[in-house]
Structure 1
């Protein structure tokens, strides 16, 4: 098993007026860094995102899970669905990573769940030169609205086969994206991917996507997709 270093960090946001707690997982010689954007009502402690982050770290990806809202902000339910605000916080995490001497040179991907997927896509659209790939797990990419047309980073949309309603929203978003994009449906999985093997399938798809887009180089990416 890979020896993973875990660090507690503070991500500066809003012109460094607030600090958002985060958890950084660092495998030896990390090949890229994945920033997580959790869904509504969740936090950096989300057991599903934490499980995905740990599994990706085992495969050589550094990962950053952080709270998109302060405790006071999270008490206002309107903030949980404020995609522009959440996207700005993802953007703050991107800037924090780039300013870090030890992390700044790594290729960077975003992993969003539920409403966090919309925030990740909006952030990617606003930072085309910084974000190399996006993965959405059970996401609401439709909430990114017009930003979908501006996303340049290769995007993978993962949806459960029993997540009715969300499948159709992801199909529409997939059709709207102009970047290299793929829609993967995991048979029998519901919105939270709680079924046996469902989350492992998410990890496998995400790891392959990040390997292709962040570490393989343009030639292999074009051949692979």
Structure 2
């Protein structure tokens, strides 16, 4: 379902899918020069929905900002702007009837991962966990030390600079952290089977941290 969501001082376009019953929800934070139409994030979202997780793929830039960014690149590294909008989307989702009451996770790619970590630090009561794909957690700056939620960092083996940055960021995160290096994968995980592995890792992590625990029988 397409939806326009007020977020801070703008209105953002989002695609929301809520399976029934839903076991949690995942809000995607897209990376440099990307949008809610990103085929890689949509592939991951499909896997999550099949597992019973609601997915929210939202544009973090307005159409006008996207046009400017395509020419200048000035907004894609504006982590503060992206994080404020993610936090605002989070506030809206926890009040939105179809998603209210569901555990919320953030899935960030590239620069979107930094924004997801900053938003997680700003909304500790709402954001339960974060997954980063080929992310730049270093761009979250001082906010890294304030992230208490479990974080999964997924990086391609053939992306050595980002592997190094993720190793360093993992040392600064204060909660549960897991770093997974996907063998043979480059930054965009375009190699055969690489994106499928990302999707499975994210699915299992989100189900572990978002899905409600089974009710024990009283007998």
TM-score range, shorter chain: over 0.9
TM-score by length of 2: 0.93
Cα distance, 1:216 vs structure 2? 5.5
Matches within 5 A, 1:1-225: 7-14=1-8, 17-74=9-66, 75-76=68-69, 77-215=73-211, 217=213
Cα distance, 1:87 vs structure 2? 0.3
Are the aligned partners of 1:90 and 1:119 in contact in 2 as well (CA < 8 Å)? yes
Q: Counterparts of 2:148 and 2:187 in 1: how far apart (Å)?
A: 26
Q: Counterparts of 1:215 and 1:32 in 2: how far apart (Å)?
A: 6
Greater Cα shift, 75-84 or 178-187: 75-84
- Aligned pair count? 209
Tell me, what secondary structure is at the counterpart of 1:118?
helix
Q: Counterparts of 1:215 and 1:103 in 2: how far apart (Å)?
A: 13
* Structure 1 residue runs of 4 or more that deviate by more than 4 Å after TM superposition: none
Tell me, what secondary structure is at the counterpart of 1:165?
helix
Greater Cα shift, 93-102 or 190-199: 93-102
The structure, 1 or 2, with the larger RCO (C-alpha pairs under 8 Å, 6+ apart) is 2
Aligned to 1:223: none
Q: Counterparts of 1:110 and 1:13 in 2: how far apart (Å)?
A: 16
Q: Which runs of 5+ in 1 are unaligned?
A: 1-6, 218-225
Tell me, what secondary structure is at the counterpart of 1:78?
coil
Cα distance, 1:169 vs structure 2? 0.2
RMSD (Å), alpha carbons: 1.0
Cα distance, 1:153 vs structure 2? 1.1
